[in-house]
Amino acid sequence: MSKSVFNAAQFHACVDSADKLDYAQAEVAFVGRSNVGKSSLVNAICGRRLLAKISKTPGKTRTINVFSIGYGKWIVDLPGYGFAAVSIKEKDNWKYMIECYFSGRPSLKAIFVLVDAHVGATVLDRQMLAWLKSTARPYRVIVNKIDRITQTKLVEQRRSLALDLGVMPEHILWVSTKKGTGIKELQSVISGFLLL
Ligand SMILES: Nc1nc2c(ncn2[C@@H]2O[C@H](COP(=O)(O)OP(=O)(O)O)[C@@H](O)[C@H]2O)c(=O)[nH]1
Ligand SMILES: [Mg+2]
């Protein structure tokens, strides 16, 4: 893997349903609360500030956004969950969209669930993980925004978050998109899944 593989990432597609996606060799997806930093993370991984739109208004991304890293290798930014102001119909739409995506992509190699270090694990984060554990898909947990936790609280927060999520602490990737912490490790994990 070389750094330039990620730097050469390009916007590939933006669709409102999974069946509109074309063929990929291998893809990884990011899912998590609105505002957890999914789009920021895509930008950090690719070393590009404006590749994925970053919004300060939660719930803005209602589409599946695809970025390609070389031919047929994708990073997929899925719409966020848990934004309070959406209607039941929109929540159902979200669920349907995500389920269609997860079940309709044989090239999906891993799902990264992003959790906010400062907010902690939400009910929906736990539901998402429980659901993923019940499927055969490989997944990883990424805890983002660790810059918002003081150094002294970090050890305790790591332990309690892991416990809360039911994941071994060493199986969690701890990152700060803002500071760039953990991005290299994440790139190599992604490279492994996408065979870059
Ligand atoms: N402090 C801090 N803020 C972050 C970090 N990552 C993202 N953010 C901020 O969180 C907000 C939501 O980010 P965005 O990428 O749009 O989240 P998304 O809704 O999950 O795509 C933005 O204001 C980002 O600047 C981080 O590592 N640390
Ligand atoms: Mg986003």
pLDDT tens, residue by residue, 127-174? 999 999 998 889 999 999 999 999 899 889 999 999 999 998 888 999
Position 114 pLDDT exceeds 90: yes
Region for residue 130 given its phi and psi (left: phi exceeds 0; alpha: psi -120 to 50; beta: otherwise): alpha
Q: Which residue has the tokens 């893809």?
A: 27
170 and 32 Cβ atoms separated by less than 8 Å: no
* Cα–ligand 1 centroid distance for 114 (angstroms): 11
Position 50 pLDDT exceeds 80: no
30 and 114 Cβ atoms separated by less than 8 Å: yes
pTM of the model: 0.94
Topology of the domain comprising 3-194: Rossmann fold (3.40.50)
Position 54 pLDDT exceeds 80: no
Q: Which residues line ligand 1 at a C-beta cut-off of 6 Å?
A: 34-40, 54-56, 61, 80, 144-145, 147-148, 176-178
Q: Which residues of 33-51 are buried (b: 16+ CB within 10 A; e: fewer)?
A: bbbbbbbbbbbbbbbbeeb
The average pLDDT across 59-67 equals 82
